[in-house]
Chain A
Amino acid sequence: NAGVMQNPRHLVRRRGQEARLRCSPMKGHSHVYWYRQLPEEGLKFMVYLQKENIIDESGMPKERFSAEFPKEGPSILRIQQVVRGDSAAYFCASSPYKGSPLHFGNGTRLTVT
């Protein structure tokens, strides 16, 4: 049973481009969480999704960021028109049901040049 898979591991984008980060949760997990870790800072909650639904997006910046978790396929975190301040490590975690232990992916390290 593979763990939480995130890809790509490293992503380089120029300012103004779009970044798409993917997260495949563990098999049987329908809850997905995205977190961001800015350089020299701690992890911050971004969004919590269940299949086809956004449950809590209170940590998402109001513009340029969006997330989805379709019925089929991975969860996608999309950042439009990236800026240097978006450079960070983005982690995904999944769990089978509310309150169960979280399983983390290895993260995607986004660098905006």
Chain B
Amino acid sequence: KNEVEQSPQNLTAQEGEFITINCSYSVGISALHWLQQHPGGGIVSLFMLSSGKKKHGRLIATINIQEKHSSLHITASHPRDSAVYICAVRVETSYDKVIFGPGTSLSVIP
């Protein structure tokens, strides 16, 4: 079993739909990142959170530390949101290790 899992693996949505991507993890963490990667492109950090909820534009990220679960929501999705979304956790070690989830590939159709 992977230490960080994401669901769904692939997601196709119609423009305008509300989208949720889930992340669950099995290790103790100090923080969790949500990252975005466009095909052949670099990686952009969307959020880093350790509790509660953060919002940036149409993106919302939540985390439940007790349940070891985080969600990334996209409201009013747009084709430019098409990308791979990666959950990454910072492990509670002295070495600040990061473990990545397998990613969720999102395609938003006009």
Contacts and interface: CB of A to CB of B under 8 A. Distances in A.
B76 interface: no
What band does the interface of chain A fall in when counting residues whose beta carbon is under 8 Å from B? Answer: 20 to 34
B95 A107 contact: no
B97 A45 contact: yes
Contacts, number: 55
**Main SS of chain B's interface residues?**
strand
Interface residues of B, number: 23
A44 interface: yes
Nearest to A9: B42
Contacts of A88: none
Interface stretch (A21-29, A60-68, A70-78, A95-103): A95-103
Interface of B: 30-31, 33, 35, 40-45, 48, 86, 88, 90, 95-103
